[in-house]
Structure 1
């Protein structure tokens, strides 16, 4: 029994000894870790371990602490484990870095460095995890890269030297086709180039990195050196022999044919003409047929030999032999040589069909084994590997059909194909995984479309274009969902169609309504276009309704374009009809347009001819056509002659005058009166009496009832401006110096004494009448005045372009004449001949007769005087720049002129200054400066 009850007094309590009491002794590592083992909680323990690690303890202490602490607290031990792993990685990286540094140093110490090894070192070091960005690997990496660049540069220079040697040899060969004296003239330069090339080649071979160059480059350089020296030595010896033969007629001729022929000609020896044997002519059709037959037999034989078919190749060889026997003399040598080579190959193949089949099998085995032996950057993908294996196996089957099987080669071929097929298997697994992932993505997209369709039965904010845009985005995501198999796609496609149709159902319903609305608009457009008078406001309103509909409801682009074309067609046709009617109306007014067009074409022809007088005449003719003088002359020619109907003209004169009087009385504009005055007959124009003094002539017919006597004509202004009518008072005017005259002023008596104006001024047009362009030109017809029709667009553009071209041509001709006159003047100065001076008209309006006379007198005299000051004054007058060496003199002259204010300016005395220059001695520099000045001063 245990003494749990205090009532049991007979049981004695056990004795407590000091050894039996447990005491909490401290851990041996507790003092080193700062009390990490005596901490009561995991957080305190972790904190103390972190603080202890901050003191950078040794790896042995950390290992012992981790061993004791990992069984007690894994959270705190995690810090120690990470620190130990970091130390381990750093030591591993240091060892790896040292290992790859030793390898790099070994490569650098090699006298012959392989570029592939240097590049492989960097790749392999990166794969092994070596810190290439840290020292010493970064320095070694740079050293290797620099040395590789030097070696590659040496190889490139070798290729350049090779090309240079070829070019030098070509130069020497070209010299052998020219006269030997030309070759002798460039001998020293060519010798220097050859020596320079040899020096560069020696420098290349003496470079310290030359042993590291690839093995194919040194032989190339040596071959180029040998070839160049061979050509150079032959050229020098031939040239030496040519020089000797030229000096000694008995010496031997050089081996160069061109030089030998030249020396023969120099010696007087006739040249021998080589006679080529002529072949017998053959009918071209027969030759073409023979070539076709032989080529066909040759191709058949080559195909059979390539495939290794022994029996078939024997028959093809016999057919080729027969063709050669029949057509051997007709075909060319090249085809004949090919045929003999093919026959030789076929002869070797006969009896060796098994050897040929094994040869083909060995090629297939080599191709199969080479599928996996490609460089890293040229590895074949899975699909291409699958196709290559399928092709190789098909070729093996075809080879087995033409020869005896070889089981040993088949074993090698099959093993190589099976090994390469592992790449195909990995690719198929990858494709299968991608297909499963794409299937999951497509199913998720279908679920997303169904959810979106349920949440959006209508477009948000009536934005159906945005609604349609989202549908298109769903379609793009489906198309870009990745590749899946045909069977899987056939399963997913119906689900996708159902989901997208459900989502697009609201838009499709709205599109049906929009189609009905647009068809109704199209019908309205047709009805509107069929109306006889096109209503522009209705067309604009209809187009606005169409645009409003298209902005709200989107349709498929092609369908929307078709509907728009159908809507626009009747309106365009209506506008075209209106345009055609307008053009037809313009064509009805074509008589005056044709006259203007003919005059414009004549002016264009004159512009092309380049004759200034002809151009001015054509411009005058065009202006007359624009004013209507051509039609006026035609109408005047159609009138009766003065001898036939003189009395009618007199009556017409009186009637015209009466009409003018009536218009004046009615206070019409004076421009109308001017038109009537311009239509008076020549007989009335010859009479110098005013219109009011003209009396009607005696009529030839019975007199008409008497008319009221005409009122006397008083010249008044036909002006309807305010204050100009007699019934209106004059407005208040500003007085003063620049104002109108005041009533009763100093000029009033003089104005009153003038009296009424003459009737002859009644027809003068008002100076303030608005001007009209060429389209409003009025023809001067013989009948009553009428408003002239406007010019058509074609005639207006033609006359405008013709006038512009004529003005440009006249300016060009004037500039050309100006330049020719200036050149002639300078030539007369150089020759000191006044007779050669251009005429006064050629010099232009800026030169007077007296000035030209002064220039001619200066040219007629002997050269004398200094023209420097006069030339500076001319440059100042023309404001042209002065040469730099004379700028100081020009500034000094300007300062002197400022002190002489009463003297004439250089712009006023340029004619006298020019005479001073012409009187001096002619110099090229002075002539150029004078020419620059006169270009400005003589410019019209």
Structure 2
């Protein structure tokens, strides 16, 4: 606290270049020259930072140190200078601190940019890239201040790679959705128009879609596919396979029904029995009976049989009367059939003729001859028919033997084998029975050709049996888990409900994915599974009701939050964490989970929306404040042409108005603040220039008036009389000097008038007073130099040191207020004492350091 006693502040060692400066005489001119030399030397230190640091630590002139500080840029030397002159030269310390902060900010920006680029590289190498990770990366990069161009280029490159991966993920998801949509359309087409699509065509389409999905599974971004898309595709594929089995059964049934109808339609209605046909038809699968076209053909066949039967019944009632007519008609029909080549019809008519009792028909000789001729022709044509039938059988045998070499789908193979057998049977009717050897060859060939289909159907039966075993295993596992989980013990707190819910969902999915089971076992297995699942689903449903009630309370709590409360965001985050904990502890049904989550999310969004509205209102206020501050800056800028006298008042009013205006948008805060400071700086510079000019004028006036007082007092001390002309000239010179401010003018005027009066009257007492007051004047000047920190002449160093101690002691005494600088200046200016040029110059320096000599 006593550092002001000494010329150099504490902490700065004396200069090595001038060790005896305190002992050598020093003047203002020497000080100015040394200062200029130091400033010049500081300008030569550009590019030599260590020398600049050494110069700053040794130099005693602030301007030179400040100029040398501009040459220092490295971090280590900046920290060294700050540490050394933190408390001695604030201007240099601030400059060093600003540069150091710029360096630290640049290093921080580079470090953050490196971290962002490294994070981006990790995301590129990560097997699973999430969009929220990329969004976090973008936010982190946006928070970084302006970085170097190489950093920005590097980040842009890795960000482009991330963007490509995200686009690839989106394209992959769209492709999977398209495949799922195609599978849905294919399933719907197979269900609604199964008669149009063959099982082979449907199976080929499914295999094509599966191959396409396999390519998507092998894609690099396959891990990012949503699980529900994959599970839905798997579920849709299993459903399609079940539909495909139904389509195969339908086609097989249709083939069997078509073959049966074709055989019956080729046979004569007279030999067909309606009851037998009804029994065989009803034994066919229900799909055949549901086919309108086949059912219509079967009904038409029944109508034909009924007509034939009615005709027979009518003929039997009048046998005796109609035998002859019937014989004649049958013979005519046989002859016509033989003429037209309808061998089967002719054979049927021949059978009808043989069934007629010749005694009752009593044919004539001509009819008998005609019958013999017709029989001979029938035998001849039947021989040809047997020959043609054998040729047809050879073709059927060849077709059956060639079937194994052809790669037909299973359903088509079974259909072709059945068709061959049906055609063989129809040939037995139309062309007579075949030889045993030929039949055995045909049967062996059909059996060999049918083996893949038989193996396929056997495999399907084995799969149905295996699926039944899997179903029984699942039921057993459900019962064991129910017993192990203690769901029915009545202690809900001791049950792992999440495990129960996960097991129930997983087991239900497994049951749904089971393949086909025999119809006779399917119903009982479903019933047993439902019974076992009720052991879990019952208590789980009760627990889920409790959980739904708890979730409802969270929704109500979120809806009741006050958007204006500062802690609302933390409260919402806490509620969301509680919601996630509840969802993890016990998942609800999908529809309940989604509905409750949507309500909870809407409640949170409503709170955030209200907070956003408040933020928007605050932004509007900030924009309004910005316009007010811009208007205030424009007003300050317009004051540059105003009179300088009104500027201080206007500046104070502007500062008060500026402090009353609220905050502005952060993006414009620095800009508007800079504009305001710039306008103030311009006005302050103008006011300072005016005040400095006024101060210089006051100092000049003080010097002139002190010079006049000294001249008059020197005349009094020299006992020299002045005539009236000299007195009038001195009085005129005094009038030409501008007045000083306030009490200082009055003190000097009083001193001047006393001196003029003493000069006129040749007052010797005043001359003695001038001699006595010189020592007082010198002491008061020295006191002011000490208080104001102004250097004194070297020869007064001892007196200065003694007076410094006295000043310190007087300042430490309690109850005494030391005189102010203005009071001391007023006192020494008004003191009538003899002075010289050196003493007047010291008084002028003291006055120049004050604010214009105001009291």
Structure 1 length-normalised TM: 0.26
Q: Which has the higher contact order (CA 8 A, sep 6+)?
A: 2
Larger radius of gyration: 2
